[in-house]
Amino acid sequence: MRIHVHDPRIGLPRRLTPEIWAACFAGEDPCWAGLEVTFGETNEALAAMLPDVETLVCTQPPPRPFHAAPRLRRIFCTFSGMDALMPLDWLPPGVTLLNNSGVHGAKAGEYAIMSMLMLANNVPAYAADQGRQLWQRRPGGMLRGRRLTVIGLGALGGGAAKWAKQFGMHVTGVRMRPGPHPDCDRVCATGRLEEVLPESEFLLLACPLNDGTRNILNRTRIGLLPLGGYLINIGRGDLLDQEGLCDALDSGGLGGAVLDVFAQEPVGPGHRIWTTPNLLMTPHVSCDDAGSYLAQCLEVLKTNLIALAAGQALPNQVDPRLGY
């Protein structure tokens, strides 16, 4: 199988190098005995390989549309949010799109529980106090017995629910298809969101962005959260009304927020979100474990190649209607 790795080196300073590839595909296995792999950083390098490539591995959304790729059968992305690729009308017939779903769960879970602990301990306010050289004690608390609602119970939301349960929280999951979840006290359908919001002391957005979830936390729904409630967003910025959130924090209606994703990234200087009170920002890094991320991605690819060789369904195939 001819594989091309398209790695334009944007963002975090990590590269999917031949060394990382070799370490992952070490050893003899009939599933990857015949792989011929090339590596490139530019669209020109990619274009030169397109006549022969059968599997394309992308660390960033690939240039579209695809022309002159007659042998292409699958595109594997080393990321999981497909919103930048939607709609998939550019995907040539007979080409399967795969994402790295599952890689982010453990890291996302740690980020989410960190964020809940930071909010319970007033860290966003203390960080701002430190900038002003202000010593001011603010009553903090523990997580035990408090209520978390998680929107989205995939890898991210599931990773968060696992830790929340261990810290003794009451966990409500909200998802399209409700059903029991081992780390949730209850799971509700998305249609019941407005019932659940008034009792959500902590609300975590951890779902993919698609037509059904865009602006799912609109201004009206922000207003349904309890006084002093906390918000965490590790999904996508467009899941919520960012201006409505800033207003709720400015007025004191909400007690705090930790945001890793934003409507526009990077957030430019001068944007009000930088200085909104009780809000702590990180630059879209919540779900990436720098040390192991790419190796984990290749493990996902390997799992899918093994399934392919066995003639089974590919576990990471993206559903074009759902976008995940």
Binding site for its own copies (CB under 8 A): 11-14, 106-107, 110-111, 113-114, 117-118, 120-123, 126-131, 133, 135-144, 166-167, 265-267, 269-271, 274, 280-286, 288-292
Encode 220-242: b = buried (16+ Cβ within 10 Å), e = exposed.
Answer: ebbebbbeebbbbbbbbbbbbbb
If the CB atoms of residues 16 and 174 are measured against its own copies, the closer one turns out to be 16
The least CB distance from residue 16 to its own copies, in Å, is: 15
The least CB distance from residue 216 to its own copies, in Å, is: 25
DSSP 160-205: HHHHHHHTT-EEEEEESS----TT-SEEEEGGGHHHHGGG-SEEEE
The least CB distance from residue 281 to its own copies, in Å, is: 5
The least CB distance from residue 105 to its own copies, in Å, is: 11
Encode 254-284: b = buried (16+ Cβ within 10 Å), e = exposed.
Answer: bbbbbbbbbeeeebeeeeebeebebbbbeeb
Closest CA to 159 of 225, 114, 216, 212: 114
If the CB atoms of residues 13 and 180 are measured against its own copies, the closer one turns out to be 13
C-beta of residue 203 within 8 angstroms of C-beta of residue 197? yes
If the CB atoms of residues 176 and 290 are measured against its own copies, the closer one turns out to be 290
CA dist., res. 150 & res. 143, Å (int): 15
If the CB atoms of residues 86 and 281 are measured against its own copies, the closer one turns out to be 281
If the CB atoms of residues 87 and 168 are measured against its own copies, the closer one turns out to be 168
If the CB atoms of residues 94 and 135 are measured against its own copies, the closer one turns out to be 135
The least CB distance from residue 270 to its own copies, in Å, is: 7
The least CB distance from residue 280 to its own copies, in Å, is: 7
CA distances to 23, 28, 142, 289 from 295, in Å:
8, 18, 36, 10
Residues 6 or more apart whose CB falls under 8 angstroms from that of 306 comprise: 31
